[in-house]
Amino acid sequence: MICAVFTACLPRAEYPPEPEIKFVSFTQNQGGGAELVISFIDGDGDIGLDQGDTTGVFCSDTCEFHWNLFCEYYELQEGVWEHLYIDWTDDNAIPFYYRVPDVTPTGQNPALVGEIAIDLNDYYLFSDYDTARFEVKLVDRALHQSNVVVTKTFVKPQ
């Protein structure tokens, strides 16, 4: 009972409204896929999109913010990291962009702290180069963009 009194007096953590992310892990699986994990903090708790968020800036066909987690693909080519651009408006492209579902908190504190894990079935592009990495960014519903984190370098399966 005394512990509850002391913890109730602790100040509430304050975080900025822009999401902040950190790289946690990138693990290649035996079955050919991979898992990418990032952690996040968001002060105003507006991470994620509902399935119905498909109009306005979240429109489904031509809007950049239809997705809210962006994993940009880079390959090490002749000693230089080259961004391999995937046109997200191209129906034949395999973008590494994702829709994180709405995780709005309940209660008085709007801040969110958590992890996002992405199962990547196809996580690399076929090319003559064998080394790659991702740069990852998260965008909240107010279109605040997080910092960019870089995954560890990985060698593509042969």
Query: Could you give the percent of the chain with pLDDT greater than 70?
Result: 85
The domain that holds 45 is classified in CATH as 2.60.40
CA 138, CA 71: separation in Å to the nearest integer?
Answer: 9
Domains contained in the chain, number: 1
Least confident piece of the model among 28-32, 37-41, 149-153: 28-32
Query: Token pair for residue 23?
Result: 């790289």
Burial of 132 (C-beta count, 10 Å sphere; 0-12/13-18/19+): buried
CA 101, CA 38: separation in Å to the nearest integer?
Answer: 15
Q: Does residue 5 fall inside a structural domain?
A: no
Q: Does residue 93 fall inside a structural domain?
A: yes
Sequence-ordered strand ranges (E) for 66-152: 69-77, 80-83, 97-98, 112-120, 131-138, 149-150
pLDDT per residue as tens digits for the range 120-158: 888 888 889 999 999 999 999 999 999 999 999 999 987
Q: Does residue 42 fall inside a structural domain?
A: yes
pLDDT higher than 80, residue 2: no
pLDDT (0 to 100) of residue 154: 95
Query: What's the whole-model pTM score?
Result: 0.84
Q: Does residue 2 fall inside a structural domain?
A: no
Q: Does residue 7 fall inside a structural domain?
A: no
pLDDT (0 to 100) of residue 90: 59
The gap from C-alpha 84 to its chain's centroid, in whole angstroms, comes to 18
